[in-house]
Amino acid sequence: MVGLNYYCSKGVFQLNHKSSMKRKMIIDISLICLFLSLIAFIYLYISSTHKKELENASASKDHLIIKETEDTFYKHAELSYKTDDLSYKIQYPKTSSKKLNTDIQKAINNMKQTYIDTHSKDSSLSIDYDVYKNEKTYSFVLSQKVKEGIVFTEKNFLNFTFDTENDVNLSLKDIIPTNKELKYAQLLINKKLQQQDASKKYFKEQHKELQIDTDSRHFNNFALDQQRIIFYFNTGDFTRPYNGTAKVIIERTELNQVLATATKKEQPIKKTTAIVAKKSNTASKKEQPIKKGTATAAKKTATKKQKVVALTFDDGPNTTSTVKILSILKKHNAKATFFIVGNQAKANPSIVKKIAAEQHELGNHTFAHPDLKNLSTKNIQLQISSTNKYIKAASGQNPTVFRPPYGSTNASINKIAQLPAVLWDVDTLDWQHRNPNKTFNNIKKNTRNHSIILMHDIHMTTADALDRSMTYLEKQGYSFVTVSQLRKIKAASSK
């Protein structure tokens, strides 16, 4: 304002000629504008650098300590940060492998960011790790714990088993290479889980058996030392929520004949498998008393009550395979649950309407199928609410259940969704193999009473497997219910 007066008065008093006065005024106004934008620019510049400084200041409050350990392969790192409403303490190994460090760092950043994005007031995150060592391998098992007030803790594991000689991460497939061997390991794990306090009740209620697919997430967290192989299970995997985690230790002597150590890997596989086959035969004979028990128990429940199963279809709907699936369900007079993706509901509202009209259950499977653990609270809300909106607009109904994409969820995500989160226990892997025979066989092999079967209605190959899968299950005495009906039946039967 000061500058403006100065220029104006200068213009008025120094010039008499009218037109040149007009020209001078235009120049003056342009100068004023230039001057004002310069001030605005400087202000914006200063405020943005100030903001950056603030951000740097908060990041620099991360306090990092690195200590030597007795071992030459790794050092102990400790990262901590604390403010009034959030705090974390992250302990992790800093190894001499660049590759492994990158993987560990990435995992830690992920957990940290998820916590920061979704944390509630007065909460804390702690990450700790266990170390196991074999001749050439190190297993680091990171465990994550989120505390909210004093009420709730959640614990999840993340494993890195690393071959130091070849500088590679090992998967369970490297340790237990064949399905037969896995099957044997599974028997042992199952038996041990059923004996432990944390998981015992869960097994009793769910009649659940470990899936033996090697890509099963349940098998991801294992560690090796010289005598043992240790399996870690997240909260809720094989325990009831709030019963904590489970850990199964298998002695190498128990698995000796089946465990292929890193050095044995080069041996002709056929021989090992032959031995394994024999061993697991005798092993399953030994297990028979238990098997008999469960068989008669199953018979008893079968005669008492009818067996039920929930068919679930994800990622649709579309105008082709979903429609075919609906007609097969109708033929069998069966009700199923569709976990609808919001953008598909937006694209195909008439099919959503048809699903609802035929009395199947509607579920929310997010708008764009992201891994919700990577999103901020606000974006998670948006994924859920926009999907609810499109489903409601198409069908007149609100979804009653929720399924997180990839089964990737935690307590805070479930809280945001405000709908019961529904996972599955029979994974047909229909999206992966796109083979009707495999889908059928998977269902045939893995379905139990109260199973929730995961399929995807967007594949014609899934529709092609459905009719005979349903016919088979009906012959086994199953009837088909929605997941909400299944939850009620389960709740009633555990009373």
- Which residues bind to Ni ion, rule: CB under 5 A? 314-315, 405
Which residue in 451, 380, 391, 388 sits closest to 416, CA to CA? 380
Shortest Å, Cβ 409 to Ni ion: 12
Pick between residue 177 and residue 317 the one whose CB is nearest to Ni ion. 317
Task: Give the C-alpha separation, 111 to 145, whole Å.
Answer: 10
As given in the structure block, the two tokens for residue 95 are: 């190894």
Report the alpha-carbon angle 453-457-462, nearest 5: 75
Pick between residue 246 and residue 340 the one whose CB is nearest to Ni ion. 340
246 HSE (CA, 13 A, CB side): 25
Shortest Å, Cβ 331 to Ni ion: 25
Collapsing DSSP to helix, strand or coil, 471 comes out as helix
Pick between residue 287 and residue 425 the one whose CB is nearest to Ni ion. 425
Sign of CA dihedral 420, 424, 428, 431: positive
Task: Give the C-alpha separation, 160 to 139, whole Å.
Answer: 6
- Active-site annotation holder among 360, 365, 450, 456: 456
Task: Give the C-alpha separation, 106 to 112, whole Å.
Answer: 10
Q: Are 481 and 310 in contact (CB under 8 A)?
A: yes
Shortest Å, Cβ 295 to Ni ion: 35
Pick between residue 202 and residue 402 the one whose CB is nearest to Ni ion. 402
Shortest Å, Cβ 359 to Ni ion: 23
Q: CA torsion 273→277→278→282, rounded to 10°?
A: 140
398 HSE (CA, 13 A, CB side): 6
Pick between residue 47 and residue 374 the one whose CB is nearest to Ni ion. 374
Annotated active-site residue 314? The verdict is: yes
Q: Which residue matches tokens 């012959």?
A: 475
Shortest Å, Cβ 344 to Ni ion: 11
Please name every residue paired with 232 in a beta bridge, in sequence order, or none if there are none: 247
Pick between residue 154 and residue 315 the one whose CB is nearest to Ni ion. 315
Shortest Å, Cβ 418 to Ni ion: 20
Shortest Å, Cβ 247 to Ni ion: 30
Look up residue 259 and give its amino acid.
L
- Active-site annotation holder among 314, 315, 457, 467: 314
Pick between residue 172 and residue 362 the one whose CB is nearest to Ni ion. 362
The DSSP 8-state label assigned to residue 266 in this structure reads G
DSSP 380-447: HHHHHHHHHHHHHHHHS----EE--GGG---HHHHHHHTS-B---SEE--HHHH--HHHHHHHHHHH-
Residue 231 contacts by C-beta under 8 Å, 6 or more apart in sequence?
189, 219, 221, 222, 247, 248, 249, 250
The counts of H helices and E strands in the chain are 18, 17
- β 337-340/222-224 pair status: unpaired
The 3-state DSSP composition of the chain as helix, strand, coil percent (nearest 5) reads 50, 20, 25
Pick between residue 315 and residue 361 the one whose CB is nearest to Ni ion. 315
Q: Are 327 and 356 in contact (CB under 8 A)?
A: no
Shortest Å, Cβ 364 to Ni ion: 11
Known catalytic residues are: 314, 456
